[in-house]
Structure 1
Amino acid sequence: MSVERSLDLPQRIALVHEWFTPRSVGGAEQVVDTIDQWLTTLGRKPDLAALVDGESRLPHSRWAGRRILTSPIQKLPWGISHVQQYLPLLPLAIEQIDLGDYPLVISSNHLVAKGVLTSPEQLHISYVHTPVRYAWDQMHAYLRRSALARRGLGPWIRWQLHALRQWDQLSAARVDVLVANSRFTAGRIRQYWRRDAHVLHPPVQVERFRWDQPRDDSYLCLCRLVPYKRVDVVVEAFNRLRLPLRVVGDGPERARLEQLAGPTVQILGRQSQEQVETLLARCRAFVYAGLEDFGIAPVEAMASGAPVIGLGRGGLLDSVRCAAAGSAEPTGVLFPEQTPASVAQAVDWFEQRRLWRELPPEQLRHWAERFRPDAFVSRFETLVQRSWETHQQSCAVAASDPAGLPELSRCD
């Protein structure tokens, strides 16, 4: 990662993440890693902050030996390994991290990281992956699946989520600059926090993937096997179509999906990174029915030269160019509803048109390159520099000669 010009940023910068634990590896962690590398390249290696740190003492961790400021949750029983179990305490806990010595604070937020306290002399930029899903639009679905709610604790959970929504909106008002990972997330920010946000898509490690491999006739679905990913509708659609489908991933839905799967559907479970890359490079198309804030996996599929057949809502509207909608140089097909019939209709249209022959793998890879980490860094750098310059100008006005204040104009 190279930077061709020197930026006028402060020496002391704090980078805030929700938590650093070995079990958390995903898009949010990739954003933090990319920002950390960029700042380090600038000679502005940031101090890290999080609710808990389970990484800095692990010799093989990316964060080994780093200074990580933590909250009181760090010292609570099972706080590091089960931090989310302390959900009612997390808003209070994140506010206990003292970042007063850092002129610039950058947070990566999907729960409470944006809630760190800063002063008017500091600039806080928050990269938002999503407003808390289960506190806002997915609350009722979350309660239907909650074991605690089924045991009679539903009213208590509702009250806790009500309090979390209030804090979520309040803490969002304290952030100076909000950055959303998609237009969909920016819309949710506008709806729930009444704030505008810049849109900057997250970095995707597209260079990991091969796009020039021979392909077979199987379809691939890759994700965590949790209810909101709606892998069940994909499996049911392929049961109807009797086309080959491989499902990669693990989670609480796996047993149900194995029972649901017909003779043409394979539930492969968790696979190694190398196996995933091979499957993506060889599948006919990638099928995805989840409503995502952005969706890293579909971009990885396109980086592998695989067309995407996905839900035409949420973050995929920012990454997949739909052939059925007449897009120039399309990269896949979008279906309108999270139902087996809608998925089956899109896959059948893809098959009938033999659309994989009209979507060259190199074309898909070329499109996916727009989401590579250095592209993210270039855009994020511009945003941070402009925000810092605006902030400095504001501070200069606040420190100007008070004789120029209209409130102190001569009245004699």
Structure 2
Amino acid sequence: MKSGVCLSLSSLVDAGSALIYMFIQHVLIFLFKWPPPPGPEYPKSPKGRIAIIGAGVTGISSAAHAIAHGFDVVIYEQSDTVGGVWTRVNETSGLQINSLLYRFHPAVLWSSSFPSRDEVVHQVRKIWEEYHLEPRTRFNTPVKSVRRVKGTGLPPHGDPSSPRSRWIINDGEDGIFDAVVATWIIPRNVVVGALIAGQPAGREWPIWLTWQKVITWWNYRDVPELVPARIGLFETTPIVNDEFAKVVKSGKCRYVRGDIVRFTNGGVRVKVRRRQEKPGEGKAEREYAGDLVVLATGFKRPPFDFFQDELFPKGYDGPNLYLQGFSTEDWSVLTTNATFQHGMGSVGHVHIGIYMRILFTFLMDTKTRPTRQEMKLWVDIVRFIKRDAPGGAFSFFTYTELSASLVVHFGFL
């Protein structure tokens, strides 16, 4: 009887949590979702034209924000479908963080706290269809060149009386654009939560050194051999997975640090490294037997060689960009999530819409447009503030830092 009562209470708690979760999402949709255009022919008199490179989470979200605010877009996608890298992962893949932190667009409605790949792709496609982006998408169209229209651009490149760039994508078949947004996203979605992402300035303050040790102990207290010897918590992107640590602790999985020598008929031969040794320093060779090899090597960041070199000069190339997204040479070039290296926070969250609104502001109000000197000064100031950051001034960023930068920027507009 007691077991039945406990089971019923547990079911009631789960049902109540699900209702609260759905209620929160509907409130967010009501408050922040902008209505889609009434038809694919809108807007008839756009405020501007924006080229979006990539039809993944970031690209579709950026395009939907633009359409909803009266801008026309053209989306360039090298594959034959929307969804980006999410369409190229295993169907069992899913979010490792709560989906409330992965609301890449206000219209998103998750059915669970940790949705799988198929649901993520479904939400991307839903927004793509709802905001009439299908006729504006060019599939199987890799971007090979992004060229500034001759005679346009910030001084001294163009006419000082008209300091605004115009852009041509590839052969110019889709006309001239007022701005270009290059997007990308990694579907790993790391983060322990807001506590980790709350590092305020990326620097090793004494309190954060203590906090780093607490977090490390909490997550790896039973498997200390998994903790990297030379890389700190605020230096690279951690992959947080409670189940993996449990599997290693139980002995069902062996974690081996090493450099792969070659595959053999019976498995794989590895130069084993101790925890303190760097890659390449392993000396003792061992062969590990196995019937199946899984190559879990992740994704390679796509190159930006279609942009002109002058847009990303040495010292001000990715990730050393204005507000971590805009080219310091031209504010009409935005690289949302495309220059991200390491950090803590969700790459699929509200900052996508905030970046687009900043771009809209630049396009519509000449008084808000920053000069090259102002954009580079911002980068230099952040470098100075984070000069002692172990992960680098821009190579490692937390979501709190990113949010603070955007909020402060809006305060000065």
> What TM-score results when the alignment is normalised by the length of structure 1?
0.24
Higher helix share: 1
Highest RCO, 1 vs 2 (Cα 8 Å, sep ≥ 6): 2
> What TM-score results when the alignment is normalised by the length of structure 2?
0.24
